[in-house]
Chain A
Amino acid sequence: MTDAERPTPNVPDSLTEPAGPAVGQDEWVARHAERRLLRGGRLGAVEERLRAAPWWAWLTVFVCLAALLPVGFSSGYVRRVAFDTVLYMLLALGLNVVVGWGGLLDLGYIAFYGLGAYCYALLSSNQFDVHLPTVATVPIVVVVGAVAGWLIGLPSWRLSGDYLAIVTLFFFQIFIVVVTNGDHLFGHNVTGGSNGIGGVDANVRPFNLFGHDLPVAHSGSFNVAYLYVVLAFFAVVFVLLRFVNESRIGRAWRSLREDPLAAELMGMPVNWLKLLAFSFGAAVAALSGTIFAALNAGVFPTTFAFPLLITVYTMVILGGSGSQAGVIVGAIVVNVLLELLRDAGNARYVFYALIVLALFGVYRLSVRLAVVLGGTIALGFVVHGIASAIAKSNVDGPANGENWLIDGLRHWVIVPRDLGPWKQITYVALIGVILLLTLVRGWWRVALLVPTLYLAAFVWENVMLTAPEATRFIILGAILVSVMIARPSGILGERRVEIV
C-alpha cells in the first residue's frame, strides 16, 4: 500500500493543530507559531508562501545569488569578502552540527580548522617538499579531521556540559602550543613555529579541481574561482548535512540534545552519537581549513585563536543554533558587519543607521520616537554650543573626510583634540547608562535614552573609531550576551538549544 492509498484518519482540524507546545517542541516556538498564524493580510500570505518553500529552493536561490555576485562587483576586495563569508558559513555549518544539533559545547572547534589548514599546508608545500594532488589532499585532510574529532570527542563519554566545554578548550590550547612550538618537535621543524608555513603551493602547483589549476591570484587580485570552489563545497556539505539531520542519526542527535538521559534510556547509543557529532563537525572544519590554506598560500598560528572561535560562535548563535538557514544569515550579518567596521567612514554610517533603525524597531512611529530623536539632536547642538563657547579649540569635530554625515556631525558631537582620561571615563559611563537603560521602563527610559545616545555618539566618534580592531570584538561579545538574553533562539532558530 502506497501513501496515497492509505486512508487518512478523520481527525478534526482543531486536533491536528495543537494550541500549546507539541511534544518535543519548545514553548517559545509554539507561541511564535501562534503569533504567525494570527498575522493576516497580504504580508501574512506572502510570509506563509515563503515559509512553505522547501529548503532546497532557498539553497538554490542563495547559491545562485552568491554565484552571480562577481558579475555585479568587479573589485577584488568585495569578492574576497564574499569568499570569506561563504568560508565562515562552511565553518559555522560544522559548528552547528556539534552545538546546534548535538547540543555539545565544543570550544575546541577552531583547532580542527587549524588542523585541516596545517595538514593541507604540510601535504602541498615546500615544507617537506611534498606536493600531493588536490584530489588526494582534500579527502586525506577531511579523514584526518574526522578522526581527530572522534578522538577529541572521547572525553564526552565521561564529561558533560561545562566540564566538556573546558576540556575541549584545553585541547584547543594544546593545539596552539604545539603549533607555535612545532619548529622544535623532536628536533624537527614541522609547523614552522610562530612563522607558520609560508611556502604553500600557490601559483605553480595550486589547488586543482577536475584538472584545472586555480592559482590564488588572478592578474594580481583575488582569483574568483575560489569563491566558486568554496560555494560548491558549501552547497555539497549543506545538502549532505541536511540529509544526515533528517535521517535516523539526525533525529537521534536531537533527542540527545533535548535530554541525554532519556535518550540513553530509550536505547540510543549516546556515546557513539556524541562522537559522530564531533567528527562530522571536525571534518567540515578541516575541509574549510584546506581552502583557507590553499587561498592564503600559508598558515600561521595566530589565525587559529580564541577570537576566531568567538566569531564563529557568534554567527551560529545569532543566526539561530540548530538552523542551517540561520547559519547563512548569521555568517552574512556578522562578517559583513565586521568588514564594514574596518573602515572608519563606513563604520560611522553603520553606527548611526543601526541606531535609527533600532529606535524605529522599538518605538515604531510614535511620539516617543520623535521625543528621543528630537531630544538627542537638540541636546547635541546645545552641548556643542556650550562647549564651543567655553573652549573653542576643543570641539572641532571629526576632520577626516568630507561628506554630509561628517558635515552634520561637526556641529553636533564634540571631538576634543586631547581626550585625556575622558576616554576611559566616558566609555565606562556609557556602559553604565546602557545597563541602567535595561532596568527602567516607559518614559523614564525615553528620558534616559536621550543622554545615552549622545554619550554613545561621543564615545563612538572619539574612542571606538580610533581602535577598530578592539571595537569589532567588543561588538561580538555584546552580541553574544544580548542575543542570549533577548532571544536565545537567534534570528532563525526554531528552538532553544539545551546542554545538560
Chain B
Amino acid sequence: MDDFIQYTINALTLGSVYALIALGYSLVYGILKLLNFAHGDVFMVGAYIGFGMLNLLGGATSPVVPVWLLLTIMVATAMAGCAVIGVAIERFAYRPLRDAPRIAPLISALGVSFFLTYSMQLLFGAEQRDYNAFSLDNGVLFLKGFDIGNVRVPLLRIVIISSAFVLMISLWLLVNRTRTGKAMRATSFDREAAAMMGIDIDRVIRFAFVLGSALAGAAGVMFALRAPASVTIGFVAGLKGFTAAVIGGIGSIPGAMVGGLMLGFAESFTQGYVSTRWSDLAVFTILILFMLFLPQSLFGRADISKV
C-alpha cells in the first residue's frame, strides 16, 4: 500500500509535467498541423533557464530571496525565455515553410531540435545538472508535507502538481473564454476560413507558440526540481509529451491533461512494479498501440480526409 501511494505521487508529478508539454504540442498541432519536434528541446532550455536564475540568486543553499519568490522567479523567467525561443523558432524555421509540403517543416523541426540540444551542450556541457532542490529552504520543502500511511508527501511535489494544474486551468480559460482563444479555435478549425473572417493568422500562430513554449518552460523547471537534468532530457520527454497529446486527442486541452496523467501513471507503475530497465519499453509499446488503434483517442475527433 505504501508503495502504491508513493508511485501514485510520482505518477501525478511526472504526469503533470508531461501534460504541460503535451499542451504545447496540442496547441501547435491543432493550429498548424505541425509536429513541433523542437518542443521537447524548448522544455529542456526551460530547465536550464531555471538553473541559471537559481545560480544568479545565490544557489539553492543560500538564496538571497525567500524560497517561494525564488521558485516563482525561476518559473516566470523560464516561461518568458522559452516563449521568446518559441516565437523565434516559429518565425525563422516554420513560417517560411508554412505552405510547403508537410515533410519540409517536419525536417526543419528535426534540425531545430538538434540545433538546440547541441547548442546547449556547447554552452553548458553535457554533464547532468542538479538544482539541488533538497537544499532549498534547508530541506523543509521535502521534510514538511503530510503523511498518507507511512509515506511522506513532500510539499514540493504538492507545489509542482498544483501549479501545473493552475497553469492548465488558466490555459483552458484563455482558450475558451477570451476573444484570442476564440480566434485560436477558429484558426485550428479552418485556417483559410478564419483568415477570410479577418483573423490575423500570423498573430494567432505566434500566440500559440508563446503559450505552448511558456508551458514547456514551466514544465522544464518542474521536471528539474524533481530529478537532475541534462541536455538530452528534451528528446524523450518531447516524445512522451507528444504521445500524451495524441492519447488525449490532439487539440483538446482536457485531453492533454488526461493523456499526460495516464502516461505518468503508466511510467511510474511499470517502473515501480515491473522493472526500471524495461519501463521505457512498456511506455513506448503502449504508445505505439495507442497510435495504431486509437489515433483519434479519448477526446479528439476522427479526421475525415476530403479529396
Contacts and interface: CB of A to CB of B under 8 A. Distances in A.
A401 B292 CA distance: 57
B110 A173 contact: no
Interface in B265-294: 277-278, 280-281, 284-285, 287-288, 291-292
Given A155-B292, A427-B122, A427-B123, A166 B243 contact: yes
Given A166-B35, A306-B235, A464-B122, A480 B278 contact: no
Contact of A261 (B114, B118, B236, B305): B305
B101 interface: yes
Interface string B84-122: 000010011100110011111111101111111111011
A105 B281 CA distance: 22
Contacts of A306: 235
Nearest to B306: A261
B122 A174 contact: no
A178 interface: yes
B131 interface: no
Contacts of B126: 470
A467 B111 CA distance: 19
Contacts, number: 148
A105 B88 CA distance: 25
Contacts of B96: 485
Interface stretch (A121-129, A272-280, A441-449, A491-499): A491-499
Contacts of A169: 239
B307 interface: yes
A488 B111 contact: no
Contacts of B235: 306
B33 to A, nearest CB: 8
Interface residues of A, number: 55
B30 interface: no
A12 to B, nearest CB: 35
A471 B123 CA distance: 10
Interface centre among B111, B291, B292 (most CB of A within 10 A): B111
B51 interface: no
A484 B95 CA distance: 12
A239 B280 CA distance: 40
B30 to A, nearest CB: 13
Contacts of B92: 435, 438
Contacts of A488: 100-101, 104
A499 B102 contact: yes
A477 B285 CA distance: 29
A485 B97 contact: yes
A449 B118 CA distance: 25
Given A177-B280, A438-B92, A498-B102, A317 B107 contact: yes
A236 to B, nearest CB: 29
Contact of A310 (B110, B239, B291): B110
Nearest to B119: A474
B122 A474 contact: yes
Interface centre among A261, A467, A477 (most CB of B within 10 A): A477
Nearest to A317: B107
A171 interface: yes
Nearest to A438: B92
B111 A479 contact: yes
A463 interface: yes
A480 B115 CA distance: 9
Interface in B60-97: 88, 91-93, 96-97
Contacts of B110: 310, 313, 477, 480
Contacts of A480: 107-108, 110-111, 114
Given A481-B93, A485-B108, A184 B103 contact: no
Interface residues of B, number: 52
A477 B88 contact: no
A2 to B, nearest CB: 41
A167 B115 contact: no
A324 B117 CA distance: 30
A41 B291 CA distance: 57
Contacts of A363: none
Contacts of A470: 118-119, 121-122, 126
Contacts of A498: 101-103
B101 A174 contact: no
Given A162-B35, A480-B108, A499 B101 contact: yes
A161 interface: yes
Interface in B161-183: none
A477 B112 contact: yes
A177 B307 contact: no
A485 B114 CA distance: 16
A473 B116 CA distance: 10
Contacts of A435: 88, 91-92
Contacts of A283: none
B114 A171 contact: no
A334 interface: no
Given A159-B291, A306-B235, A470-B118, A484 B284 contact: no
A497 B104 CA distance: 8
B239 A173 contact: yes
Contacts of A479: 111
A467 B127 CA distance: 14
Contacts of A464: 122
Contacts of B108: 480-481, 484-485
Nearest to B276: A181
B115 A474 contact: yes
Given A464-B122, A481-B115, 7 more contacts: A155-B288, A166-B291, A313-B107, A427-B122, A484-B97, A484-B111, A499-B101
The 8 A-B residue pairs with the shortest CB-CB distance in the complex, in nearest-first order: A480-B111, A477-B115, A477-B114, A498-B101, A481-B111, A470-B122, A162-B35, A473-B118
15 contacts: A105-B106, A161-B102, A162-B102, A163-B246, A166-B242, A170-B284, A171-B288, A174-B281, A307-B114, A423-B123, A467-B121, A469-B121, A471-B118, A499-B102, A499-B103
Interface of A: 99, 103, 105, 155, 158-159, 161-163, 165-167, 169-171, 173-174, 177-178, 181, 184, 261, 306-307, 310, 313, 317, 423-424, 427, 431, 435, 438, 463-464, 467, 469-471, 473-474, 476-481, 484-485, 488, 496-500
Interface of B: 29, 34-35, 88, 91-93, 96-97, 100-108, 110-119, 121-124, 126, 235-236, 239, 242-243, 246, 277-278, 280-281, 284-285, 287-288, 291-292, 295, 305, 307
